[in-house]
Each structure stands twice: as C-alpha cells, then as structure tokens.
Structure 1
Amino acid sequence: MSIKEILDREVASRNCYEEVCEDKLDPIIVARKYNDETIALVCSLFAYGNVKQIVKFLESLDYSLLEKSDREIENALQNHYYRFQTADDVVAIFKALKRLKEVTTLEELFTSKYLQTSNVIDGINAIVEKLYELYPYSSKGYTFLIGKITTKTKGAGALKRWMMWLRWMVRKDNIDLGLWNRVNKADLIIPLDTHTFNVSKRLGLLQRKTYDLQAAIELTETLKEFDKEDPLKYDFALYRLGQEKIF
C-alpha cells in the first residue's frame, strides 16, 4: 500500500464528528461550541502544551467578554493565566480582539491582504499588526501568544497555531468548521507541530530537518501531489498518526 493510499484511508476513517470528543481531545472541541471566528482564534492561539490542560483552560473562559467593557474584562480575567501567559496577557488578547470586532471582522482583515497575493502569511501578518495597533501592549507571554510579523520562512516559527486556525476557518468537513468562503483551500499551509513533523519525516513526506515555516511549506507542497486542491485534508490524520504513535 502506497503512502497516499495509507493517508487517504486514514482521512476517510477519521473524518467523523466523533474523532474529536472527550476521549479524543482537541482544542477545536471548544471552538465547535461557538462556531465563531474570534472565539476559534482564542482557542487556537492557546493551543500549545498538554491537550487536557489546553481544553480545561479554554473551557474556563467567558467568551461573552469579547463584547464587554475593558473593566469587565479585567475583573473577570484577573485570575486567569495559562503557562507562558499571565492574567495581564489573557486580558490583553481579549481587549485587542474586542476592539478589532468593533471595527472589522477577522475574515475581512485577513482577506484584505490575502486576496492581493494569495499568500496566507500576508493575511496573518495583517491581523497580527492590527492587534498590536488596536491595543499596544507588550510582554514575553503576549508576544509568544500572537507572534510577530513574519518576513521569512527559513528559521522562522512555523505559525502552527495560526495555520491551524485557518484550517478550521477555511475547510469544511466533519472536523473543520468552514466559516469562511473567500480563501482557497489550496493556499493553506499545514499547521506543523512536532507530531506532524516527525511522522512526516518517517513517512518520507518531508526531507527538511529544521522545524520551521519553510518545513511546513515544503510538506504542504508534497501533500499537494496527493490532492492539489485540498492538501490540508491530510493534516488531522497525520497529527493523529504521530500522536497515537502509529508511525
């Protein structure tokens, strides 16, 4: 059986709503409850570390605060923190996203740049830049959370959490939400995490040894050989294969 046949089989078997549940946790389980682009972004940005702790933290948040005053956000989140993010960092992302919602949508902001170049990195940069502009706040934890403007691919962070959010927004199946309709699935870049990185190398899908954005792009190009219109349909299956130590 070829690698493509193995992956196509895995995609078919895992493309079911039950693949994400209390026994098979994933941050999208929280995003599903709201079906909202902004809440989904919060879920993706905090999606690092132990998945049980991620989901526990995400479920502790009151997302109605994205419509509330700064004072209400500060009072409600004063005891919320997660790994590298202090309570001030959590407050900051809620304030920044609230302000963004008041002037535009994430989809509008993303596509304002993406549609000019068909490059999703440009769209992500537009959002990152706007968040800093709307709420000028800086800390080590906050910078880790939303990142910086990305100008290179080699040696740069893989933007895994941003790319995962885009997958949720753009693809529509039994896993992904498909809330957007102006972004081409073929332009997405795989959200490369350590599980996907390692299993892809073992399967011969990725030759690059450095874990960076360039590796994510190269893996995506390889997956386009299997499906040029929807290469990221393989992402969740590859992630689970690595996570479950099947390969």
Structure 2
Amino acid sequence: MTSDLKSIKEFLDEKYFHYNNKSFIENDPISIPHLYSKKEDIEIAGFLAATIAWGNRKSIITNSQKLMNWMDNSPHEFIIHSVKKDLKPFEKFVHRTFNGIDCVFFIDSLKNIYLNHKGLEAAFGINPKKDTEGLKNNIAKFRELFLEINHLKRTEKHISNPLQKSSSKRLCMFLRWMVRQDKKGVDFGIWKNISPSQLCLPLDVHTGNVSRALGLLTRKQNDWQAVEEITSVLRSMDSSDPIKYDFALFGVGVDKILGKLT
C-alpha cells in the first residue's frame, strides 16, 4: 500500500467511525427495516425500501413507510397470506417511475420467493467465489428468480442486472444491510450465506464522486466495471470488510466536504 493510499485509508477509517452509528439511521432508508425485529420482516422491509431508494431520502422513507402501513406493519405475514383484494391500495402507489403495477408484481414475486424458494436469503444463493464476480452472479441469479412469474416488461428495470453493466446500487446496498455486522447498530448482519468480504460498493453519485476525488476510481461511468474497480481498491484497505467504507464515501459526499479532502 502506497503512502498516499495509507493516508486516504486513515481518512476513510476516521469517517467510517464518524458516520457509522445509530444517528445515521434516522434520515436513511435503512430506518425502515429497523422498525422490525423478525428476520423476515427486516429483509422484506429492507428490500422494498432499497428498491425505491433513489431521489429525495425523505420521500423514500415516507413512501416506504406507506408500504409498511398498508401491510399492517407485518410485511412477512402480509406477503405470504395476501390475496388479490388485499393488493388494491398498492395499485395506486407511485415513487418516481416505480408505480402500482410494479408494486403489485413485487409483492406477488416476494410471495413466490417465500412460499416456493425458502425466502430472500436463499434466493440470493450461495456462491463459492469470494469476489465481485461471485456477487455479480448471485445478483443476476436472484434477478432471474425474481422475474420468473408473469410480469410486464416495464417492471424489469426495477431489478438491476450487473450482467448488463448496471452498478446495481440498490441491491448492493440491500446486501450491505443484510450481510454486514460490525456491532455499530446500523447494518443487520442477519444473512450468513454471503460473506462481508464478497460485498460490493453501492456506487451512486456521492460514492462515485468522492472515490474519484480521492483518486480511488478512474472510470467515469457509474457502471459495474466501476463497482469492480473501486471495490478492489477498498479490499486492499480491508479485505474482510471492504464495504464499511460506504459510510465514509457516502457521508463525505452528502455533507459536501470534498474541498477538505486534499
């Protein structure tokens, strides 16, 4: 590790400790799964909140809470027992381009996954490859399974596909929530079939811009190739838990302190 990289690691370690605490939860979509204690409720709430996690964070949280309320705040029980008439409220749901058609399909697909495929954790599967290639295939296989029931073509865009170069930011974020456990009270660490070392950075405008400003990422597009590039660098800083730096990169970006990085 070069001296420059060591100093950047020290900076990111400091910011990781600064941002990764319970105060982070309140204004982040991860607040939605934190409403629950049952494993299945946590993962369903997390998956749906992550699915609509783009745009204004307040709007994301408000709309995610609306979904939970419509599920009587028991998402797992609602999902597995829902019938057509129960889904009427969801037909009017809108969050940006995610509409009622998409929402009803997501509920139906989750029901299929829990009744026929042993739940979300099993649906992401076990991949022996402990690298970004392994996680890419896990996500792609999950997407294939999620879309196995009848659906409209328009809905497919809401489950990203890294095999088509998507950064899959929201799915990578969801996996961080479920897999990482550092006892800081933010991520849950309730899934054991994927190792924290396999996780990939949820690459968005904030994490991408800060990574480039620090010289950690050279690729200009926020695509899967960029995810592989930055995740490889983060693994050189912490091979067992590289995505802990998501807190640092995201927080620095949101707080607009790029000018203090040099």
Q: Which residue of 1 aligns with 2:223?
A: 212
Q: Which residue of 2 aligns with 1:172?
A: 181
Q: Is the 8 Å Cα contact of residues 89 and 139 (structure 1) preserved in structure 2?
A: no
Q: Which residue of 2 aligns with 1:19?
A: 24
Q: Is the 8 Å Cα contact of residues 130 and 197 (structure 2) preserved in structure 1?
A: no
Shift of 1:117: 7.2
Q: Which residue of 2 aligns with 1:4?
A: 9
Is there any run of 5+ residues in structure 1 with no aligned partner, and where?
none
Q: Which residue of 1 aligns with 2:139?
A: 124
Shift of 1:116: 6.5
Q: Is the 8 Å Cα contact of residues 123 and 142 (structure 2) preserved in structure 1?
A: yes
Cα deviation, 1:88-141, whole Å, max 9, x if unaligned, reads 1111101111111111111112124x23676012111222111111x210242x
Q: Is the 8 Å Cα contact of residues 70 and 95 (structure 1) preserved in structure 2?
A: no
Cα deviation, 1:117-171, whole Å, max 9, x if unaligned, reads 76012111222111111x210242x2221134x425xxx1100001001101110
Q: 1:162 aligns with which of 144, 163, 171?
A: 171
Q: Is the 8 Å Cα contact of residues 125 and 138 (structure 2) preserved in structure 1?
A: yes
- Deviating beyond 6 angstroms after TM superposition, the runs of 4 or more aligned structure 1 residues are none
CA distance in 2, matches of 1:40, 1:115: 25
Moved more, 62-71 or 198-207: 62-71
1:185-200 mapped onto 2 (5 Å cutoff): 185-200=196-211
The RMSD of aligned alpha carbons is 1.8
SS in 1 for 2:93: coil
Q: Which residue of 1 aligns with 2:60?
A: 54
SS in 2 for 1:176: coil
CA distance in 1, matches of 2:188, 2:236: 25
Q: Is the 8 Å Cα contact of residues 147 and 156 (structure 2) preserved in structure 1?
A: no
Q: Which residue of 2 aligns with 1:111?
A: 125
Q: Is the 8 Å Cα contact of residues 185 and 230 (structure 1) preserved in structure 2?
A: yes
1:47-126 mapped onto 2 (5 Å cutoff): 47-61=53-67, 62-63=70-71, 64=75, 65-103=78-116, 104-112=118-126, 114-115=127-128, 119-126=134-141
CA distance in 1, matches of 2:254, 2:13: 18
Percent of counterpart pairs with the same letter?
Answer: 32
Shift of 1:242: 0.4
Q: Is the 8 Å Cα contact of residues 73 and 95 (structure 1) preserved in structure 2?
A: no
Q: Which residue of 2 aligns with 1:41?
A: 47
Cα deviation, 1:2-32, whole Å, max 9, x if unaligned, reads 11111111111222111221xxx11101111
SS in 1 for 2:251: helix
Q: Which amino acid aligns with 2:163?
A: T
Cα deviation, 1:179-223, whole Å, max 9, x if unaligned, reads 112211111110101100001100111111122111011101111
Moved more, 26-35 or 194-203: 26-35
Q: Which amino acid aligns with 1:161?
A: R
CA distance in 2, matches of 1:109, 1:166: 12
Q: Which residue of 1 aligns with 2:163?
A: 151
Call closer, same or farther: CA 1:102–1:116 in 2, change over 3 Å.
farther
Count how many residue pairs are aligned between Structure 1 and Structure 2.
237
CA distance in 2, matches of 1:18, 1:138: 39
Q: Is the 8 Å Cα contact of residues 206 and 254 (structure 2) preserved in structure 1?
A: yes
Is there any run of 5+ residues in structure 2 with no aligned partner, and where?
1-5
Q: Is the 8 Å Cα contact of residues 22 and 186 (structure 2) preserved in structure 1?
A: yes
Q: Which amino acid aligns with 1:91?
A: V
Q: 2:192 aligns with which of 170, 181, 184?
A: 181
